[in-house]
Amino acid sequence: MATSIELRNEITMVELSRHNSREDCWVAVHSKVWDVTEFLDEHPGGPAIILQCAGTNATDAFEEVHAPGILEENLPLEKFRGILEEASSDVPPKGTVREARNKNEALSTDKAAEIPALNTLISAADFEKVASRELSPKTWAFYSSAATDLITHHQNKALLRRIMLQPRILRDVKKVDLSRKILGLPSAAPFFISPAAMAKLAHPDGELALARAAASEGIIQCVSNNASYPLNHIVESGDPNQPFFLQLYVNSERHKTADLLNKARKLGIKAIFVTVDAPVPGKREADERIAAEAVQSAISGSVSANDKKGGGLGRLMAQYIDKSLTWSDLAWIKQTSGLPIVLKGVQTVADAKMALEYDVDGIFLSNHGGRSLDTSQPAILNLVELRMKCPEVFSKMEVYVDGGFERGSDIIKAIALGATAVGVGRPYLYSLVYGREGAEHLTSILKDEVEVSMRLCGITSLDQATPDLLNTSDVDSLVRQDNKFPQIPPRYVRAKL
């Protein structure tokens, strides 16, 4: 991969235009000329897209699809041919650039005037309302959609609200500590940024903005395997000692996963969150109904494009996922990465017990925000069931949960049930309508709600949050009873007379 690029020969537009075939294909991006001939057949979107730009300055087409730096990330340095010498006809007249910039700034100001001032947003739900209006229809469908009839998606939030708090009174709550250790790493709050794909669809800075917000607010970001930006760009955009987790979809081409895990270790990633509940993506109909734009992940390389089933970004970008992943593969992931392993997508007590047997470092109770298997149990119900039936899990590994968490009071409920921390996903994508400042403001809102809830519950430390604070009777009856259905006896074949 390209690591450093020195200025080389200047290449004219005439010279560039000569390399315009499948056998000899050059393109210019941001004034850098690359020989992509050998990359054509490896391009996840197919060679035709590149060949349309062969021998030309492809910067505009490139920026519509890719994150900055992806060529340097994927091409060896020897494929760099030089710096493009723009022809005089390509150089705008003096003052044109300034005029265009001033016009764009005016348009941006007009658009900003239409968006509510950030300080008027006082809840996570407020960010969702703004995002529903400001994001493109396709981006909104990709972020907000869930599987088929949205049952699990809606129940994630609904069941959280059915668990009641029982506060204690007359306690000294002047000083409150909402800090938490997550896999031994300090966090200023008991929640982290859950992995969510393609944040650049909401804001040009995408995951970079989330990383900077996480750094300033002292929380941890779990980077999606389908992030918009290369992993090293995301890590480098934060503070030097800032901790990151990486969410992993195991690639059917295992060597690519091995390369990613090695890169993650070298970059200082602190843990790998292996997604285990989505060997295939769920059917997200709102996402499928709107035609896909050409979008590529900088980390996984997956590309969206329409097909006969629709234009679902989630489905189209998940073609590389290994459908044969089993428990026995976890040892390989842990050995290859040399990092703590968390299973993301555990939804049963039986699998939580299996995770203990396979010596993982944590489990993440998650149903993919209702985006995978519809009518699967709400995340909070999985946490209640695990706490009831297998409390020993919580003392032997860390347990996280996400799905529908938008209030600090709901985060306290999860902590009281034994969760180490809570993942927050969609709200952070919605906050990116305002960029880094939006993500910081959302974090501040959630922190404040957690702190207020702690004081009102009569606790000053998260360690004091126990099931004694909760009344779960409204959902207890939903916890599955063991052996409810008797075993069906074997069918006997009657002898023929």
Task: Considering the candidates 205, 229, 233, 277, report the single residue annotated as catalytic.
Answer: 277
Residue 284 near residue 311, CB atoms below 8 Å: no
* Nearest CA-CA partner of 25 in 10, 13, 36: 36
Let me know if 320 is a catalytic residue: no
Token pair in block for residue 438? 């939006």
Using CA of residue 11, residue 13, residue 15, residue 17, what is the dihedral sign?
Answer: positive
Distance CA 318, CA 250 (A): 11
Token pair in block for residue 27? 């393109």
Distance CA 189, CA 462 (A): 10
Task: Considering the candidates 229, 249, 430, 434, report the single residue annotated as catalytic.
Answer: 249
Let me know if 126 is a catalytic residue: no
Let me know if 249 is a catalytic residue: yes
Amino acid at 293: E
Task: Considering the candidates 19, 153, 233, 368, report the single residue annotated as catalytic.
Answer: 368
Residues taking part in catalysis: 249, 277, 368
